[in-house]
């Protein structure tokens, strides 16, 4: 169980390597939602996503002897870039196992940070085997994308900053993040639990957002067991992973609810942010706003912090 | 001739109605340019563009008796929205003459601010006749998009903020803006002249950027007369207007140079900003960065402020 001091330590540890990203607001979107929304812009983060925080913290917490041979992970997306970035900062090698079907632009981004890309078949079994193999060959340290308290502590720092920098003058009633493997929402929930109360002194609630086309977390949240999604089909490609026991534990303890939204709602929310806020966000990133707009009655008149997780979309 | 006090007064006057937009930097783009670039993000401004500043200042400088019957202008783009926004803030009517060929999204945006859109044939003669007609009918006050010292004073305030908020700790060697009708570059040049010096105490230079496919300003700058472009064909659709005597006067006195770039360079610079900075900018907006990259030798190792003018692109 991560303490407040663990989160503070993570923040101090990674501060030289990350951006303190801005919090933005939009009067138009507030009017549509009937609420006061604060967007924490992790799309402006190093590597274009919050994952730089968790990857950097995990890498920095490794002993020199553990990380001497480099870092390894498997990823089809932002976590691979995060590990590559962390390794580059520490002048050690990185090995990222990626499905051969991953977009060329993502493979190039990982290589741009000086990492070695190892291609594998696009299955979870092949990915895990690929990483086990590279770890055995090189002695590199494995950094899991979310099932790791050091990663979760790193992700929590976005929420620490959101709470510190809240520009509205009104305490948060709710803080929201999307749910994939659960690393971000776990860190978000821990930071909120330790640091945020509402105007009437009760705890700020943390609410997750999940696509209907990858609805494992909402099932796991109800049953108390790690469940798989009934089907996987969504544009929110960063949110397909199932939870781990660890992240489910944090979610059951500190998250109030998980809201489902469909792809049309995600697209509409993403477009709203592009058009009205003039910033580029990934589809996964738009899930909490889509939930605020879909379940308007539950959210209106509240002050809501939303982690905008990243901006890595292929613009072609 | 606008004084420093005129610019300061404009800033105080419009402050309650505009955003103090952030200045952003990008290490990747700095590396590509070999320079230190500061981007003043007017794409985050009210109405999505700096034009809110000039329109608002001009409207506020009108006496009650002058603006009682509303505001009028002709525009195919952001100035129409700026006048509509200013009128909405002052609870007076606005009439915007727009070519019938203007994108539906632009007409809708003007109407969303409560203005009346009057469609006309897509010629400058029809537009001016349309405005003259509406002014005669309604008694509304005409606000020209650039040939007006009140508008120029309003546009100068973006540069006042850029100089105040410069996050680099190094004074600007150069400040850049795109050149259309010349209102923005005139305001930029005046604010820079009054408020910015380089590290060695000389005046910060102001350099304009213009598309090759609307190259009137570079000709006028050389000849000293208001010239028309040899041809008009560019994606930078906000930069097609010729200068006026007034703006040419300011440019000849306070601008050091105007650089030409082609559409491929504009597109590449726009894409770079979208991909690396995760913000949405219009093509017109990318012209100064395109010039910094094209004429790298002239700009490298300098600290350069760039006004990012707006983010109103049709995302369909």
Is B274's Cβ below 8 Å from some Cβ in A?
A: yes
C-alpha span between A67 and A142 (Å, rounded) = 9
Beta bridge partners of B94: B71
Q: Which residues of A touch B311 (CB under 8 A)?
A: 278
pLDDT-based confidence at A206, cuts 50/70/90? Answer: very high
CATH classification number, A52-142, choose in 3.30.365.10, 3.30.43.10, 3.40.50.970, 3.40.50.1100: 3.40.50.1100
C-alpha span between A57 and A13 (Å, rounded) = 7
What digits encode the pLDDT tens for the residues A128-145?
Answer: 999 999 999 999 999 999
* A114 phi, psi to nearest 5 deg: 85, 10
C-alpha span between B93 and B78 (Å, rounded) = 18
C-alpha span between B282 and B276 (Å, rounded) = 15
Cα B139 to the chain's mean position, in Å? 27
What is the pLDDT, as a whole number, of residue A213?
96
Bridge pairing between strands A36-41 and A303-308:
parallel
Q: Do A274 and B44 touch (CB under 8 A)?
A: no
Domain A4-50+148-308, second-level architecture: 3-Layer(aba) Sandwich (3.40)
What is the pLDDT, as a whole number, of residue B96?
97
Chains A and B form CB pairs within 8 A to the count of: 31
Residue A147 burial (10 A CB sphere; 0-12, 13-18, 19+): middle
Q: Which residues of B touch A281 (CB under 8 A)?
A: 278
Is A268's Cβ below 8 Å from some Cβ in B?
A: no
What digits encode the pLDDT tens for the residues A105-134?
Answer: 889 999 999 999 999 998 888 999 999 999
Among A residues 25-84, those touching chain B with beta carbons less than 8 Å apart: 43-44, 48
Is B280's Cβ below 8 Å from some Cβ in A?
A: yes
Q: What is the largest CA-CA distance in chain A?
A: 56
C-alpha span between B104 and B123 (Å, rounded) = 18
- Among the partner-chain residues B271, B275, B278, the one whose CB lies closest to the CB of A279 is B278
For residues A13 and A143, the answer to whether their CB atoms sit within 8 Å is no
Q: Which residues of B touch A274 (CB under 8 A)?
A: 280, 315
What digits encode the pLDDT tens for the residues A210-222?
Answer: 999 999 999 999 9
What is the pLDDT, as a whole number, of residue B195?
98
Strand order in the sheet with A71-74: A116-120, A94-99, A71-74, A141-142
**Residue range A24-34: mean pLDDT, rounded:** 95
Q: Which residues of B touch A280 (CB under 8 A)?
A: 274, 278-280
What is the pLDDT, as a whole number, of residue B104?
85
Q: Do B274 and A48 touch (CB under 8 A)?
A: no
Is A271's Cβ below 8 Å from some Cβ in B?
A: yes
Q: Which residues of A touch B24 (CB under 8 A)?
A: 44
Where are the domains positioned within chain B? Answer: 4-50+149-308, 52-142
Mutate which: A278, A283, A316, vs B, most B CBs within 10 A = A278
For residues B179 and B209, the answer to whether their CB atoms sit within 8 Å is yes
pLDDT-based confidence at A237, cuts 50/70/90? Answer: confident
A-chain residue closest to B42, CA distance:
A278
- DSSP annotation of B297: H
Whether A76 shows a pLDDT value over 80: the answer reads: no
Give whole-number Cα distances, A190 to A23, A31, A37, A251, A284, in Å: 20, 30, 20, 9, 21
Whether A14 shows a pLDDT value over 80: the answer reads: yes
Tokens of A132: 């086990």
Is A112's Cβ below 8 Å from some Cβ in B?
A: no
- Tell me the angle at which helices A149-165 and A51-61 cross, rounded to the nearest 10 degrees: 130
Give ipTM to 2 decimals.
0.84
What is the pLDDT, as a whole number, of residue B123?
84
Block means of pLDDT (10 residues each) for chain B, length 316 residues? 97 97 94 98 96 98 96 92 97 96 88 96 89 97 97 98 96 98 98 97 97 97 96 92 96 98 98 95 96 97 98 85
What is the pLDDT, as a whole number, of residue B282?
93
Q: Do B44 and A24 touch (CB under 8 A)?
A: yes
For residues A101 and A124, the answer to whether their CB atoms sit within 8 Å is no
Is domain B4-50+149-308 classified as CATH 3.40.50.1100? Answer: yes
Is A103's Cβ below 8 Å from some Cβ in B?
A: no
Cα A144 to the chain's mean position, in Å? 13
Beta bridge partners of B305: B38, B175
Contacts of A61 (CB under 8 A, 6+ apart): A13, A150
Domains B4-50+149-308 and B52-142 share a fold: yes
Q: Which residues of A touch B42 (CB under 8 A)?
A: none
Mutate which: B278, B283, B316, vs A, most A CBs within 10 A = B278
**DSSP-derived 3-state class of residue A75:** coil
- Find where tokens 């957002």 sit: A209
What is the pLDDT, as a whole number, of residue A104?
85
What is the pLDDT, as a whole number, of residue B36?
98
């Amino acid at each position: 169980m991560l303490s407040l001091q663990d989160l503070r330590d993570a923040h101090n540890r990674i501060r030289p390597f990350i951006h303190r990203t801005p919090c933005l607001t939009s009067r138009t979107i507030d009017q549509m939602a009937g609420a006061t929304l604060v967007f924490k812009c992790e799309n402006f983060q190093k590597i274009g996503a919050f994952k730089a925080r968790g990857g950097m913290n995990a890498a920095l917490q490794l002993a020199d002897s553990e990380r001497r041979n480099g870092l390894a992970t498997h990823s089809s997306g932002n976590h691979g870039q995060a590990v590559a970035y962390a390794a580059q900062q520490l002048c050690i090698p990185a090995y990222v196992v990626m499905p051969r079907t991953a977009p060329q632009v993502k493979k190039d981004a990982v290589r741009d940070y000086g990492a070695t890309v190892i291609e594998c078949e696009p299955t979870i079994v092949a990915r895990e085997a690929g990483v086990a193999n590279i770890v055995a060959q090189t002695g590199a340290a494995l950094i899991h994308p979310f099932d790791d308290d050091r990663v979760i502590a790193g992700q929590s720092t976005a929420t620490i900053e959101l709470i510190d920098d809240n520009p509205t003058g009104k305490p948060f009633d709710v803080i929201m993040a999307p749910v994939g493997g659960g690393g971000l929402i776990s860190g978000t929930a821990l930071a909120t639990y330790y640091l945020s109360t509402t105007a009437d002194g009760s705890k700020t609630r943390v609410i997750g957002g999940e696509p209907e086309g990858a609805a494992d977390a909402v099932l796991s949240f109800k049953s108390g067991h790690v469940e798989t999604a009934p089907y996987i089909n969504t544009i929110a490609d960063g949110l397909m992973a199932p939870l781990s026991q660890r992240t489910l534990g944090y979610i059951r303890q500190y998250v109030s609810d998980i809201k489902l939204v469909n792809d049309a709602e995600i697209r509409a929310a993403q477009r709203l942010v592009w058009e009205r806020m003039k910033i580029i966000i990934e589809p996964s990133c738009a899930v909490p706003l889509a939930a605020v707009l879909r379940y308007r009655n539950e959210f209106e008149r509240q002050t809501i912090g939303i982690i905008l997780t990243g901006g890595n979309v292929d613009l072609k």
